[in-house]
């Protein structure tokens, strides 16, 4: 499994301390531009720039309370306790106010697994049962085009060749909370969520093995407006880092290879079809953290590099507008929030 975005793998102590009841409800986005895919994921203050954010086990132990530490890009520092270390982190704009919300998904049996969201609008709490153990919740996104991301999971087929499914609960004109499911992909495929045709709705996309040697990969896209297409791109061992790298409002195909100890990004711009290949980061230590750190509407290449030396953990960004940037933030055992959408 290529994707893992837990610290060691979160009930909400903040909720219990406040004496609040846990009630169901829901949704995720970032800053939305004309077209579709948001470039500034993990934007907690809504300024159109990805923030420097890490998640830390502050409670201790394998199920400890976690704290989110956020340095707003050009704004103040903030911290919030939300979740446990065994949860999956899925930060996004669930209430549609243009700011990323703190959110986690907790695995469990059907009806027990749930999303836990702290909405930035009014600091309201939304908790909703969704999915089951084994699902991948990092495919949350705006599937119905209302500017709010919908709760979603990708469920891999259980045995070779078995059908995989996408499940989402749309937030647009859905008072009964109906769940939509889409059969797309098969056992062993990896999801590559994003809006590839720029219609404002997430598409269903998987990276699949394309030959009997399990070397080449093929992306299969079920797009809500542009229909079905497929293309061979990269290898099955490559990481998937979706984003709008050319700023045209469409998610671009981006894979990241391990090349002699370095990360090598292969990006196919959706606007021109041109292929860009860029070396950035060290594969042995770095986390891939794409986002729009300079606010120009384009996803930037970025990594977070932990260090055992105090004060030396840092984000490294190749800004498409401001150029190279290093920002010291976090500690060695932290998890960078912007990595959640890398598969």
**pLDDT band at residue 268 using 50, 70 and 90 as cut-offs:** very high
CA atoms within 13 A on the CB side of 300: 26
Cβ-proximal residues to 234 (8 Å cutoff; 6+ apart), any chain: 207, 216, 217, 255, 257, 266
Of 236, 71, 224, 82, nearest in space to 141 by CA: 224
DSSP 340: G
* Average pLDDT over every residue of 142-168: 96
Tens digit of pLDDT for each residue in 45-56? 999 999 999 999
What global pTM score does this model have? Answer: 0.88
Q: What is the rounded CA–CA span in Å between residue 230 and residue 236?
A: 15
Q: What is the rounded CA–CA span in Å between residue 119 and residue 101?
A: 5
The full length of the chain comes to 343
3-state SS track over 197-262: CCCCCCEEEEEEECCCCCCEEEEEEEECCCEEEEEEEEECCCEECCECCCCCCCCEEEEEEEECCE
Sign of the C-alpha dihedral computed for residues 46, 50, 51 and 55 taken in this order: positive
Residue 182, strand partner residues: 166
Phi, psi of 306 (to 5 degrees): -75, 155
CB atoms inside a 10 Å sphere around CB 264: 17
- pLDDT of the residue at 36: 53
Phi, psi of 338 (to 5 degrees): -70, -5
- pLDDT of the residue at 76: 82
Tens digit of pLDDT for each residue in 110-145? 999 999 999 999 999 999 999 999 999 999 999 999
Phi, psi of 204 (to 5 degrees): -105, 110
Q: Which domains does the chain have, with CATH numbers?
A: 13-341 (2.120.10.30)
């Amino acid at each position: 499994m290529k994707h893992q975005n837990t610290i060691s793998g979160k009930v909400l102590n903040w909720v219990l301390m406040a004496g609040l009841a846990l009630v169901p409800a829901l949704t995720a986005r970032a800053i939305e531009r004309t077209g579709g895919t948001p470039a500034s994921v993990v934007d907690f203050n809504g300024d159109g720039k990805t923030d420097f954010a890490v998640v830390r086990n502050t409670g201790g132990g394998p199920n400890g309370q976690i704290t989110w530490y956020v340095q707003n890009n050009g704004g103040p520092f903030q911290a919030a306790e939300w979740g446990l270390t065994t949860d999956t982190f899925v930060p996004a704009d669930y209430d549609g106010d243009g700011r990323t919300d703190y959110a986690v998904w907790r695995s469990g049996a059907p009806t027990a697994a749930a999303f836990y969201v702290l909405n930035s609008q009014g600091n309201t709490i939304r908790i909703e049962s969704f999915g089951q153990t084994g699902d991948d919740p990092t495919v949350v996104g705006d599937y119905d085009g209302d500017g709010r991301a919908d709760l979603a999971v990708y469920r891999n087929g259980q045995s070779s060749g078995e059908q995989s499914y996408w499940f989402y609960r749309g937030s647009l004109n859905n008072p009964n909370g109906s769940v939509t499911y889409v059969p797309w992909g098969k056992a062993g495929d990896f999801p590559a969520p994003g809006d590839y045709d720029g219609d404002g709705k997430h598409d269903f996309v998987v990276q699949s093995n394309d030959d009997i040697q399990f070397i080449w990969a093929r992306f299969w896209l079920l797009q809500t407006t542009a229909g079905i297409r497929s293309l061979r791109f990269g290898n099955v061992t490559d990481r998937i880092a979706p984003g709008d790298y050319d700023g045209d409002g469409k998610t671009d195909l981006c894979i990241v290879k391990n090349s002699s100890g370095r990360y090598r990004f292969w990006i196919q711009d959706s606007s021109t079809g041109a292929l860009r290949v860029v070396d950035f980061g060290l594969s042995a230590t770095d986390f891939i953290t794409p986002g729009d750190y300079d606010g120009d509407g384009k996803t930037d290449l970025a990594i977070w590099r932990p260090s055992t030396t105090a004060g030396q953990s840092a984000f490294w960004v190749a800004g498409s507008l401001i150029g190279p940037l290093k920002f010291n933030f976090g500690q060695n055992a932290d998890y960078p929030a912007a990595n959640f959408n890398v598969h």
